[in-house]
Amino acid sequence: MAPATDQIRYTESTGNVFADLGVAEPEEALAKAELARQIGAIIAERGLSQTEAAVLLGIDQPKVSLLTRGRLTGFSIGRLLRFLLALDQDVAIVVRTRQVQRGGRIHVVAQSQTPKMVLAVKRARDVRPLGRRFAVSRRREAVTQAGERSS
């Protein structure tokens, strides 16, 4: 039998599955997915039921179910950030100058084994709605890029 010489065609990923699938606002979709993943991980780590998590987050249990299953249509980035605050997480928003010539991007980075999360927002239009809501945290403290608290 002759060896197969047909090559398999493939397309290299952009690094964002939502962009690869042609989703509108793929950077935002990826950020929301990562925030939801972090929220789900915290809920699981604490051993909370969906009902217990709903009480902490101030939503009903079916919405927790949607959130943990990745059904994020009804959840804004701001709302997901508020959920992290309700779960006693520190959230820092970092705005940086774009490093490459293409459009800006949103990138979520969770620091492993620490309660801090960094949301790097690189488009001015994405910062406005977040800036007002998180200008003063519940604990009235700012978190620097290094993760140190300052008053």
Reported as a pLDDT band with limits 50, 70 and 90, residue 124 is very low
| Average confidence (pLDDT) over 42-56 | 96
pTM of the model: 0.64
Tokens of 53: 């998590």
Just give the CATH number of 18-133: 1.10.260.40
The Cα–Cα gap between 151 and 140 comes to 7
Q: State the average pLDDT for the chain.
A: 75
The Cα–Cα gap between 57 and 21 comes to 31
pLDDT of residue 110: 72
| Average confidence (pLDDT) over 45-72 | 96
Query: What ranges do the domains of the chain cover?
Result: 18-133
Reported as a pLDDT band with limits 50, 70 and 90, residue 108 is confident
Q: Which of 105-109, 124-128, 135-139 has the highest mean pLDDT?
A: 105-109
pLDDT of residue 111: 66
| Average confidence (pLDDT) over 128-149 | 35
What does the pLDDT look like over 94-104, one tens digit per residue?
Answer: 888 877 766 66
